Structure 1
Amino acid sequence: MRSFQVINGYNGKGLTIDLTSGQIEEFNLAEDVLTSYLGGRGWGAYFLTEKSDPQIDPLSPESLVVVASSGLNGSGAPTGGRFSLIFKSPLTGTICSSNSGGFWGNTFKRTGFDVLLIKGKAPTPVYLYLSENKVELIECPELWGMSIPELTAHLLTKHSSTARVLGIGPAGEKMVLFASVMNDLGRTCGRGGGGAVFGSKNLKAIVVEGKKTFSPAQREKYQTGLYQANKLLRSLPVTAKAFSLLGTSGLLKLVYQHDMLAHRNFQDTYHAPENIAKISGERLQQTIFQKARGCYNCRIRCTRLTRVGNLRGEGPEFETISMMGANLEIYDLPTIAQANYLCNDFGLDTISLGNTLGAAMELFEKGFLSPKDTEGRNLSFGSQNLLVPLTKQTAFRQGIGDLLAEGAHRLTLKFKAPELAMVVKGLELPAYDPRSTLMQALGYATSTRGGCHLKGGYMISLGFFGGSREVDRFLIETVADHVVDEQDSGCVADMLGICRFAYFAFSENELSRIYSGFTGVDLSPDDLKKAAKRVIQKEREFNLLAGIDPSQDTLPARFFEEKIPIAGQKRNIDREAQFNHMLAKYYEIRGWKK
């Protein structure tokens, strides 16, 4: 490893924080760590594989959490404010990289530090305060039990209105296995249970205040890249208009029209058109919409600020409407929005919650769950009146919520029907039925954090918004190549802190110019992709050592065995002729063994 050298655009420093002893130590980031892993997800993969035992209990004091700024935080890169949390997931046992937008990540980097390595368990609840002049662990038993809005208001009052707060709500404290870590009130590191890991460590929050600025090393190259990226964002209809007008909920009709929208725990994708109209982006705009908002340096502005009666909040986003609405046969937007507000307030992943509720409803309808298990309630699909109370019960592990808090895989195992868990490697699937696009099917199966449309390669970008790159979603021969390419591009975005929606418009060509101009380190588009392959290989190695073997690179049996109407004919995924063929090709490209 080469000697320490600060590279422009980075701080070159990190902190190791032992919550058990309260000791905080500063360390330097070596040049090859900076440029080989770039930031965000990349640093998480590096530090977790180098400094953590893959077989560790994720909720033990010895487990490691990496909080990583990204390579283009602090720059003018469009949407370049995302940061990452990386940890071993208590839900899946895999390495889990979960990132978030908002403003926290950019402010964190401006404190003068790039990365935090957090281990141990504090004797009493604490939060970390971090600025350019001060690093301090502060005991806060009085904050334990606070919701995210209460926590944020308290810490901003105590410190400064310019501070940014990352923290957990009651769900994280109760170690709900899919508890999220929230920042800027409504932004979330949602997947994999990072909130439970924070809760297991008695870590309530991380507060950052920073004003450090970064100047580009090669201004002309940097500005050329910015100009090209912004021009492309302005020219693509989905990033220039669609998301800003309707937010992510504008995807609902599109996904429905392609027979992809999950229904009744993925039993089919049929929804009556009039029901889709009730929960569409257009209906949200007409009824509960208040204001649009964007994350750091974002012209897309897909965030929806909404109001239902006296309640206000962010969202619901497409995935929330889909998984906590359409998937459950609940077509009432105000009810979905209220449950979404609670997920933000208490710190719950809406995808996992909606998926797990779908599993519970199917368990109930098929007789595995009895009224005794549900406290006398009829937990059938369409039980609109139960969505809000079940969300509360899950966050606080009360009644049946204690079972739901374990996620779909453990819930269905308990009731001896694991085939009803729509999960990959233990992670609940999002809204896209894989029978409707073979690319997404392979992406789910090979994602290093489990059933994820983002880490699996956001294939909707090629299926719907690819323009000249648009790909037939049922074409077998090229699926593996496209999935590998999209996964690698997604990893580049996660390392540099770029929103996946921006990737609809631009790619590594523009990002290589921005990064090279910002840092002075000349990396080509191919160099960025090589870094991504390096990171994904690290994640794969961690998972193998953690006991996640290649047999788990698959899908729930439902998608192989049950045919549903899609694109004018009944389809499932042929395990041998389609899936195994695609998977073998994917392994060949990655250089992986079965």
Structure 2
Amino acid sequence: MTKEVYGNMGIILRVDLTTGSVTREDASKYNEKWLGGRCLAHYLLFNEVDVAKTDPLSPANKVYIGTGALGATTFPSSGRTHACYLSPMNYSGWGDSNCGGHFGPALKRCGYDMLVISGKAKKPVCLYIEDDEVRLESAADVWGKGTIDTQAELIEKYGEPTKLLCIGQAGENLVRYANVRTETTNSMGRCGMGAVFGSKNLKAVVAKGSKPVKLFKPKEFYKVTKQLRDELMDPKFGKVHSASYDLMSKWGTPGITNLIGTTGMVPIRNWQRCGIDPKFDRLVRSWSKDHGTRREACFACPVHCHAAYAVKDGKYPTRGGGPEYETTTALGHKCDITDDKVVLKLNTMCNDYGLDTVETGAMFSTLMELMERKLINKSFLDDIDMQFGNGDACVAMMPKIVFRKGCGDNLANGPYRVAKALGEKALQSVYHQKGMCATGVETRSTIGSMLQFAVSPRGSHHLNGLPTAEWVNIPPVAVKVSGFKEGGDVRSYHPEAKARLVQYYENMFFLSDSLGICKFNFGHLGYWHDKVEDLDHMYDLICQSIYYASGIKYTTEELFEIFERSNQIERATIVMRGIRREDDQPNWKCLNKECPGEHPVGPIPLPPIDGVKYNKILDAYYKQRGWDMDGIPETKHLKKLGLDFVAKKMNKALSA
């Protein structure tokens, strides 16, 4: 490195599992243009991997794990870690995963902004990183164990300051929706990162760092980050902002279920119904009152949205961390299971096995609907009676999937692939985009949300850019970011309004993923959304924080230029893997079925998505992004953004 580095650590650590080689690269040359975290990972992945052809479960796939310029500092909720790779779960092949906790700060304090993992070890290994010491060690003692025992044993071995990412048996057995776990409450859950780890014989990455993060202007940084912390917790800052803190700090994400359900957004019974149903009340707050043992927080976070629980009686006594809204809806609402004790048991099992709770719940609820429609029977499921509401069947089915026993070997491929093999009628029961099932969002409820889910590069996922101003219903902010009052109308099909709204929030969500901070507190929930001035205020404080941390000055507009470039890399990659306009369409249920349910906002039942009107929005979105009408980035637009290298590689792949 030729100059002093602030905020970031200035080094990319590269580990080749095949050869065992360890190399270090100057990261400072990327900081200004690519920021760090998700944005930098996109740039490196696109340039270093044959993204058009690489099999996600082959040694040629690489995993990029990044921190960010604000990670491991006093900036509130600066404990996020982002990973980028090619995904074995969705058919688009794009993999992004993100988690909270403490691993990101630990990796950064080892001295690294990015960890790049390539190749495949001959036998199961753990990657151990302690400051400048980096080595591969045998994982024989923990291979075959769940994430709870794995973490406990590795922390016992390496000492209490140890933080780690690890897989359970699901990742070892290449279940396509296996995740990577850290601590008791955090997962890199979507896109099958656990299977990628397993394909590389990588059981865990251990980080134990002691290096300080040098700040460009420490006193000023501490002052502005304290202001941010205080304002996040301020009960008088604004009605929506302060209610977000109150709900999240007391109840975590399940506590906002009925808020989300006001437009019909909460899915029920495999997306056959939606909205607010009192029969699920125990999955909203009662489970926490009756079984919660404490609130937990990620690194430097004042919100404490996580929980620990212990169920001491009943058929399934259990203990663990969480659950999140996505888990309670996936394993509860979508499966029509109302018993909180059963849902908590399933959550503990998923966490220990290392399974994505969202896709696992979707697998169960899809099977339940296929049984209901008589497209499969119990013999297809090894005589397990997967009926709606049958939590016992879910408990019995999960280990079969994890260990690929009997029917579980097929179900390990996920709902989309299982149903596709059964035929078009079965595929109608899968609520997916690009082969990955939706999170806890009924996309017929809000038109901007439908567009965001459909164009998401990794499949149905709200954290790619769910438009907060729309679904939380903040019309003035929607007008600011879209330019039209229709942007805040959940039922509007105004093409330009919805296109601009979604583009804005997609780009905005790069902010947190690239800085190492939590998007729940900075864009995804109601924080900083009471009025336009609050959002501008948030950006001002973040830009100040970046400067005081790193010495690099950005305007909000300059940051969004980085995010726009990163989005183009995502799209170019999935286009090179075959994604086109037809893959950005709503799924069959969205286009063909109405959705009944009780909710105070919007029509009852929710009507199907109007395909003609939707495609006018899609036209406007493509135009806004600089893509042609098949969803392919236009060369002249890529060059205008300084992405000549993207245009060259994409055009070469498309002409091959």
TM over 0.5: yes
Rounded Cα–Cα distance in structure 1 between residues aligned with 2:375 and 2:462: 29
How many residue pairs were aligned?
588
Rounded Cα–Cα distance in structure 1 between residues aligned with 2:616 and 2:143: 51
Residue pairs, 1:342-357, within 5 angstroms:
342-357=349-364
For the pair 1:51 / 2:41, whether they are aligned, the reply is no
Rounded Cα–Cα distance in structure 1 between residues aligned with 2:475 and 2:222: 26
Shift of 1:461: 5.5
Q: 1:37 to 1:238 in 2, by over 3 A?
A: farther
For the pair 1:515 / 2:523, whether they are aligned, the reply is no
Residue pairs, 1:203-242, within 5 angstroms:
203-219=202-218, 221-223=220-222, 225-234=224-233, 235=237, 236-242=241-247
- Name the residue aligned to 1:42: 39
The one-letter code matched in structure 1 to 2:270 is: N
Equivalent residue in structure 2 for 1:372, among 355, 367, 379: 379
User: Tell me, what secondary structure is at the counterpart of 1:20?
Assistant: coil
- Name the residue aligned to 1:428: 437
For the pair 1:269 / 2:291, whether they are aligned, the reply is no
Residue pairs, 1:97-108, within 5 angstroms:
97-108=96-107
Shift of 1:59: 0.4
Shift of 1:495: 0.5
Equivalent residue in structure 2 for 1:91, among 89, 92, 107: 89
Maintained 8 Å contact 1:4/1:29: no
Rounded Cα–Cα distance in structure 2 between residues aligned with 1:291 and 1:363: 39
Shift of 1:137: 0.6
- Name the residue aligned to 2:455: 446
Residue pairs, 1:396-435, within 5 angstroms:
396-416=403-423, 417-435=426-444
Rounded Cα–Cα distance in structure 2 between residues aligned with 1:526 and 1:249: 34
Q: 1:325 to 1:461 in 2, by over 3 A?
A: farther
Residue pairs, 1:162-561, within 5 angstroms:
162-219=161-218, 221-223=220-222, 225-234=224-233, 235=237, 236-269=241-274, 272-273=277-278, 275-281=279-285, 283-309=286-312, 310-416=317-423, 417-455=426-464, 457-460=465-468, 462-464=470-472, 466=474, 468-469=476-477, 471-477=488-494, 478-503=497-522, 504-506=526-528, 507-561=538-592
User: Tell me, what secondary structure is at the counterpart of 1:73?
Assistant: coil
User: Tell me, what secondary structure is at the counterpart of 2:463?
Assistant: coil
Q: 1:390 to 1:559 in 2, by over 3 A?
A: same
Shift of 1:397: 1.8
Mean CA deviation greater in 21-30 or 41-50: 21-30
The one-letter code matched in structure 2 to 1:74 is: A
The one-letter code matched in structure 1 to 2:195 is: A
Shift of 1:17: 1.3
Maintained 8 Å contact 2:167/2:181: yes
User: Tell me, what secondary structure is at the counterpart of 1:499?
Assistant: coil
Rounded Cα–Cα distance in structure 2 between residues aligned with 1:227 and 1:549: 46
The one-letter code matched in structure 1 to 2:492 is: L
Rounded Cα–Cα distance in structure 2 between residues aligned with 1:271 and 1:148: 34
Rounded Cα–Cα distance in structure 1 between residues aligned with 2:319 and 2:141: 25
Shift of 1:407: 0.8
- In the TM superposition, structure 1's runs of 4+ consecutive aligned residues that sit over 6 Å from their partners are none
Shift of 1:469: 2.4
- Name the residue aligned to 2:129: 130
Maintained 8 Å contact 1:263/1:329: yes
The one-letter code matched in structure 1 to 2:304 is: R
Q: 1:200 to 1:411 in 2, by over 3 A?
A: same
Maintained 8 Å contact 1:44/1:66: yes
When normalised by structure 1's length, the TM-score is 0.95
Maintained 8 Å contact 2:384/2:396: no
RMSD: 1.8
Q: 1:322 to 1:313 in 2, by over 3 A?
A: same
Rounded Cα–Cα distance in structure 2 between residues aligned with 1:483 and 1:271: 26
1:474-525: CA deviations, max 9, x gaps?
Answer: 1222211111111111111110112121124244332111111110000111
Maintained 8 Å contact 2:469/2:475: no
- Name the residue aligned to 2:606: 571
User: Tell me, what secondary structure is at the counterpart of 1:193?
Assistant: helix
Rounded Cα–Cα distance in structure 2 between residues aligned with 1:11 and 1:453: 31
Shift of 1:442: 0.6
Shift of 1:74: 2.4
1:432-461: CA deviations, max 9, x gaps?
Answer: 111101111011011121111111x13345
Rounded Cα–Cα distance in structure 1 between residues aligned with 2:310 and 2:107: 30
Maintained 8 Å contact 2:5/2:28: no
Maintained 8 Å contact 1:167/1:206: yes
Q: 1:574 to 1:181 in 2, by over 3 A?
A: closer
Maintained 8 Å contact 2:171/2:194: yes
The one-letter code matched in structure 2 to 1:540 is: R
Q: 1:592 to 1:224 in 2, by over 3 A?
A: farther
Maintained 8 Å contact 2:5/2:214: no
Shift of 1:23: 1.3
Q: 1:4 to 1:559 in 2, by over 3 A?
A: farther
Rounded Cα–Cα distance in structure 2 between residues aligned with 1:549 and 1:175: 28
Q: 1:475 to 1:496 in 2, by over 3 A?
A: same
1:56-91: CA deviations, max 9, x gaps?
Answer: 000011111111112211221111110111110001
Q: 1:311 to 1:13 in 2, by over 3 A?
A: same
Maintained 8 Å contact 1:239/1:501: no
Taking every aligned residue pair, what percent have the same amino acid on both sides?
Answer: 29
1:508-549: CA deviations, max 9, x gaps?
Answer: 332111111110000111111111111111111111112222
Mean CA deviation greater in 414-423 or 519-528: 414-423
Equivalent residue in structure 1 for 2:26, among 10, 25, 28: 28
Rounded Cα–Cα distance in structure 2 between residues aligned with 1:208 and 1:354: 31
Mean CA deviation greater in 72-81 or 316-325: 72-81
User: Tell me, what secondary structure is at the counterpart of 2:359?
Assistant: helix
- Name the residue aligned to 2:535: none
In structure 1, stretches of 5+ residues that fail to align are: none
1:219-251: CA deviations, max 9, x gaps?
Answer: 465345424422431232234311111111101
Q: 1:460 to 1:167 in 2, by over 3 A?
A: same
